[in-house]
Each structure stands twice: as C-alpha cells, then as structure tokens.
Structure 1
Amino acid sequence: MERVIRFYKNAKHEWYADIPEWGGAIEDLQMVEGADDLLNWIAADRNECKLLMANERIENAEILSLVYIREENLGGGGDYLLENFRGEFKDHKLWLCNVTEFVFKQLPERIYFREIEQ
C-alpha cells in the first residue's frame, strides 16, 4: 500500500499529519517523540512537506523499522528506528501512534518513505 501524506506545522511550530478521513481528535495527528524531528530534517526551513509512504519497497526510499509495539496504556502505536537518512547514519528513534494503523490497517514492520516535491 502506498499513500501520500501531507505534514504541516501550525502557528506553534508543532507538526501534524493531514489525514482528512481521520474521525478522531486533531491532537491524535500531532507528530511527537522523534517524528517531529524527522519532519524538521525533511522540511528544513519549510512549514510543510509531502511524503510518499508505503509498507512495501519503493524506489529511493528511506526506511523506518518497527522495533516495539506499544501497549495501549503506553500510547499504542509503535516505536520505529531510522538507521540512515539521506546516506548519513542517524540511529534515530521515533514513535508513530495508532493513526499509523488507521492508515496502513496494521503497524508495518517497515515503512518506506520519500519526499514528494511540491
């Protein structure tokens, strides 16, 4: 499954995923615990970016690897590891909440992503 997702910063410089069909609270779409750092690297000085994301290999993609599935009382979702980013070793840990399961219908073992030019 492939999906293009737009991410944007609000006036407080907080990152959010733009998922129109999400029926839950907007707070659930906030990118925190390392995901915000990744978006800052991708967007640089911009306030938004679009990513092609997939649970199967895509060309020229970065890779997030699932390392831990969190119990619901710990926020649910999964902890992922980004070993390399744009050819540079990062060893960056980040959390993706249950919205990931909503988008992919599961927590993928790997999430492949690359920026889509705007």
Structure 2
Amino acid sequence: MNNCLFLTTLTSPIYAILNEHLSSFQLHKRWKTPLSCKINEYIDDIVYNNGTLALIMKASSNNAVIFDLQSSKTLDRLWIFPMDINKSWFQQTIRCCSLKYDEWLVIEGNTSRLFHILTNGK
C-alpha cells in the first residue's frame, strides 16, 4: 500500500486515497464511523506500517487515549492498548511512529513521555 494515502479530520471518517499515477489521486475507499472509531472518539494521529494502521484515538466522554492497531485493508482491529494519558482538548497532539520489528513509539507532547509498544500491544 505504498501508493495509498490515509486521511482523516475531526469531523470525517478515514479516507483511503489510492494514487495509481503520480499526478492524480482518486478516492479508493471510505470508512465511516463506527468502523474506523466510535461516535465519541476522534483520531489524533494515524500511521501506516507493514499492512497496519496505528491510530491514536481520544474518547471525548472521558479524555482517555488509546492506541488502536488495525488492518489497513479492512480496518479490522488487531489489538488495542489503553494509554496512561488523560488528554484535554487544548493539549498538544500525541504522535506515533513505527519502529523496526512492527513496534511503535508514542510521544505525548505535554510531558514528553515516550511509550514503547511491542508487537503484541504490550
């Protein structure tokens, strides 16, 4: 899926845009809530790696933050990891990046805390 761009906004679901040719983009797939996330959740960050999408999501009901790993083709949940972060609406964005061996690094902006998440979500 190196020719695919995943997009989301605060008010829209995940869009997968397939780039068949370098000069044009076309909408390939659109996932609506609740497939991408629940009604009361929003996606703070989205990262693709090796056939998976890592989603950093915040629940507006309780300010809880979760790391959700999903299949990039179907958005089926592979596993979920509740983060020890309570995010307020004005807080800096929480970022995620992929590491070797399908591991992940999550950076919490306000406190500069780092979370190393292993392949199995631990």
Tell me, yes or no, whether TM beats 0.5: no
Report which structure shows greater RCO (CA 8 Å, sep ≥6).
1
Higher share of residues assigned strand: 2
* Higher Cα radius of gyration: 2
Higher share of residues assigned helix: 1
TM-score (norm. length: structure 1) = 0.32
TM-score (norm. length: structure 2) = 0.32
